[in-house]
């Protein structure tokens, strides 16, 4: 009786395993083009970075928010960073990390967050990834010249400030 129960359980387990394997081997559609295939361009200039930061800070002041704003060049090197009075101390490092992740992965950091939220949890093990809103690439004439990163509020607030800065030189 005992061995018959185990045999039955073994058969049921094998059926479930085969069914799961059959589902996981279904072909997937392969896109023709690479996603986020933005060519890197010359590094952003300091004057451009300052214009971006000024626009981001103006939006933050308009909303009475306190922010750190960082701009990196196309190689991920810091060009300029400002921390508004009263901004939480951690925001400087977070803003820089968002900008750096955005330029390195050639996408908004919000896209990384969405991918992880949709099940791509393996992305969390990729060095340098930052899954949160507030990092936006700066693209001029079809080339990625840098990125802005912002931190100080909730993710959606970070996106608003980053978008205001990014729009200043487009």
- The pLDDT tens digits for 22-56 are 455 566 888 888 888 899 999 999 999 999 999 99
Q: Which residues, at least 6 apart from 109, have a Cβ–Cβ distance to it below 8 Å? A: 98, 101, 102, 130, 131, 132, 133, 134, 135, 136, 149
Q: What is the pLDDT of residues 2-25, one digit of tens each?
A: 555 545 544 444 444 544 554 555
DSSP letters, 117-153, are HTT-GGGGGSTT---SS-EEEEEETTEEEEEEEEESS
Instruction: Please state, in angstroms and rounded to a whole number, the distance separating the CA atoms of residues 3 and 169.
Output: 74
Q: Please give the span between the terminal C-alpha atoms of the chain, in angstroms, as a whole number.
A: 75
Local structure of 76: helix, strand or coil: coil
User: pTM, whole model, 2 decimals?
Assistant: 0.81
Give every strand in the sheet of 143-151, ordered side by side: 78-83, 68-73, 143-151, 135-140
Q: Note the pLDDT of residue 7.
A: 54
The mean per-residue pLDDT over the stretch 121-141 comes to 93
Distance of CA 99 to the CA centre of its chain: 9
- Burial of 54 per CB tally in 10 Å (0-12, 13-18, 19+): middle
Angle at 169 between CA 129 and CA 65, to 5 degrees: 65
Which tops the pLDDT comparison, 139 or 11?
A: 139
Q: Note the pLDDT of residue 3.
A: 57
**Which residue, chain included where needed, has tokens 């919000």?**
110
Which tops the pLDDT comparison, 58 or 114?
A: 58
> Which domains occur in the chain, in start order?
46-169 (3.30.450.150)
């Amino acid at each position: 009786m005992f061995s018959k129960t185990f045999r039955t359980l073994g058969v049921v387990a094998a059926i479930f395993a085969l069914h799961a394997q059959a589902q996981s081997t279904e072909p997937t559609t392969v896109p023709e083009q690479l996603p986020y295939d933005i060519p890197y361009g010359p590094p952003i200039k300091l004057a451009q970075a300052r214009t971006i930061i000024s626009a981001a800070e103006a939006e933050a002041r308009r909303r009475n928010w306190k922010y750190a704003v960082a701009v990196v060049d196309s190689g991920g090197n810091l060009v300029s960073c400002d921390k508004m009075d009263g901004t939480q101390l951690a925001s400087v490092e977070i803003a820089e990390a968002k900008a750096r992740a955005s330029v390195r992965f050639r996408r908004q950091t919000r896209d990384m967050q969405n991918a992880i939220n949709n099940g791509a949890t393996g992305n969390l093990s990729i060095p340098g990834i930052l899954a949160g809103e507030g990092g936006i690439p700066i693209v001029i004439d079809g080339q990625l010249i840098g990125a802005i990163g912002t931190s100080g509020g909730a993710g959606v607030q970070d996106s608003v400030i980053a978008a205001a800065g990014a729009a200043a030189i487009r």
